Amino acid sequence: MNLFVELLKFRFRLAVSESREMSTITVRLIRSFEHRNIRPVVMRNIDLDMNTEDFVKLVRDEMKVASGLLPPVRNYDYDTMKVNHKAHKAKSNNPVINVEDDDVLVLKPDRTLRENGLEHETEISFFKMTDYERYRATLNN
């Protein structure tokens, strides 16, 4: 009986995952703009209809268990996400982060990922806003 119940649960999960569009999102953890200390975390099977706040929690949970992330990167106080690059689109000339269109590319927490413009294989940056503002100020000088 237990095996039958487990099989039904598996088929239900499979049917749900096939009916929803699941995406892969690469999150670039930017620990330091000046030193270009960036570590990628690949998030697979992400529902783009997920709320941005829930996605941030999911990324934080993944950071706790991801191998290869040292404590200074893992425990940093990241607070902002911004679209860095979409698949098959042009990339920014800046190797650290796209510094243009902050009002459009910074993810709003009250919207879904899709409403924020995320697509399959989008690359986003996760960073601390005060560090980003300081970095932008140095670029303008």
Read off the pLDDT of residues 25-75 as tens digits, 9 standing for 90 and up: 999 999 999 999 999 999 999 999 999 999 999 999 999 998 889 999 999
Q: How distant is the alpha carbon of residue 106 from its chain centre?
A: 11
68 φ/ψ sector (left φ>0, alpha ψ -120 to 50, else beta): left
- Judged by DSSP in three states, 112 sits in strand
User: Largest Cα–Cα distance in the chain?
Assistant: 70
Phi, psi of 119 (to 5 degrees): -130, 180
Confidence (pLDDT) at 21? 77
% of residues, the chain, pLDDT over 90: 64
Q: pTM (2 decimals)?
A: 0.82
- pLDDT (0 to 100) of residue 116: 94
pLDDT at residue 91, rounded to an integer: 81
**Rounded to an integer, what is the distance from CA 112 to the centroid of its chain?**
13
Average pLDDT over residues 81-98: 87
